[in-house]
Amino acid sequence: MQALGLSEQAVQQPLLRSISYTMVGATLGNILYKIRTLYRYYLKGGSKHKYNHRWLGKYISGPLESAAMALIVLAIIRGGIGLFGGPASADSTGTNNFAAFGIGALIGMGMREVVGWVGEITRAVFVTRDNGTETDETAGKDHGGEG
């Protein structure tokens, strides 16, 4: 962290430590998931599976996406706890750091599920009325074969 230009005092802040552990966990979790996927699909699948260059961007951007999503999930969880009167302390104990790392790793390994979970939260919080107008979800869908 000091290599990034942060002072020693800033590095000792409990919230920054928690964020760092969560992001590192998410990055490593996603890298492990990508290695597992690569092994299972290409190596275990044999010659019937050829490497598809379309997925190269996903292998490169996946760890960064996971780190960003870990920050969002951390904010939702910590904000929700604080919102409902729970303790919002950011104690920098070893247990909290391991928990933050573990949550981050789970986020990195299950990005598809995490994105769906955040989407469900978004739909629950930002409820819209259906006025019979076409929404993003219904745009482009076939409505009973009318054409």
Reference 102, options 7, 29, 48; nearest CA is: 29
> Hey, what long-range contacts does 14-17 have (CB within 8 A, 24 or more apart)?
14/89, 14/90, 14/91, 14/92, 15/90, 17/90, 17/92, 17/97
Alpha-carbon gap, residue 53 to 35, rounded angstroms = 16
Two tokens at 85? Answer: 């009167």
pLDDT, average across residues 6-21:
77
Alpha-carbon gap, residue 13 to 82, rounded angstroms = 19
**pLDDT at site 145:** 42
Q: Among the listed ranges 25-29, 85-89, 139-143, which one has the minimum average pLDDT value? A: 139-143
Q: 10: which DSSP letter?
A: H
Sign of CA dihedral 33, 54, 62, 3: positive
pLDDT, average across residues 43-68:
80
**pLDDT at site 54:** 80
Q: Which parts of 84-128 fold into alpha helices (H)? A: 94-109, 111-125
Two tokens at 91? Answer: 């104690």
Q: Among the listed ranges 92-106, 109-123, 132-146, which one has the minimum average pLDDT value? A: 132-146
Reference 100, options 15, 34, 32; nearest CA is: 15
pTM for the predicted model, two decimal places: 0.69
Q: Among the listed ranges 2-11, 24-33, 105-114, 136-145, which one has the minimum average pLDDT value? A: 136-145
